[in-house]
């Protein structure tokens, strides 16, 4: 998704659909701010995805029973 996001003009659709599914209301005047922040996050996600990690890598948080 992140790599594709650069070429995608579907942000408005994605934000509106996500908001509806999550029961969030996004006023029209908030849309640009939300989109800008989403774009920043997806650029960071793209950077992260370019770094291969072994499947066996444990996530950082460790639960102790």
Partner 1 sequence: MNAILADPTWLSANEIAASIAGGATTASAVIDATLKRIEKLDPALNAFTDVVATRARDRARALDAQLTGGSSPGPLAGVPFAVKNLFDIAGLPTRAGSKINRDRPAATRDAILIERLEAAGAILVGGLNMGEYAYDFTGENDHDGNAANPHDLSRMTGGSSGGSGGAVAAGLVPIALGSDTNGSIRVPASFCGLFGLKPTYGRLSRSGTFPFVANFDHLGPLARTTLDLAASYDAMQGPDPTDHACAQRPVEPVTPLLERGISGLRIGVAGGYFQNGLGPEARMAVDHVTSALGATRTVDVPEAARARAAAFLITTTEAASLHLDRLRTRAADFDPAVRDRLLAGTMIPASITGRAQKFRRWYRGEVLQLFDSVDAILASATPITAPLIGQQTFLHDGKEIPLRANIGIYTQPISFIGLPVVAVPVPLQPLPIAVQIITAPWREDVGLAIAHALERAGAAGAPRPKI
User: What is the contact surface with partner 1 in residues (CB under 8 A)?
Assistant: 1-2, 14-15, 18-19, 22-27, 30, 33-38, 40-42, 44-45, 47-49, 51, 53, 57-61
Q: In the chain, which residue ranges form alpha helices assigned H by DSSP?
A: 2-5, 11-22, 31-49
CB of 48 to partner 1, least distance (A): 5
Nearer to partner 1, 7 or 50 (CB): 50
CA distance 51 to 38: 21
CA distance 65 to 62: 10
CB of 46 to partner 1, least distance (A): 9
């Amino acid at each position: 998704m992140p790599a594709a996001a650069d070429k995608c003009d579907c942000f408005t659709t994605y934000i509106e659909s996500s908001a509806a599914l999550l029961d969030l209301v996004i006023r029209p005047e908030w849309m640009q701010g939300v989109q800008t922040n989403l774009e920043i996050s997806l650029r960071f996600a793209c950077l992260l995805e370019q770094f291969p990690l072994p499947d066996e890598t444990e996530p950082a948080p460790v639960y102790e029973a």
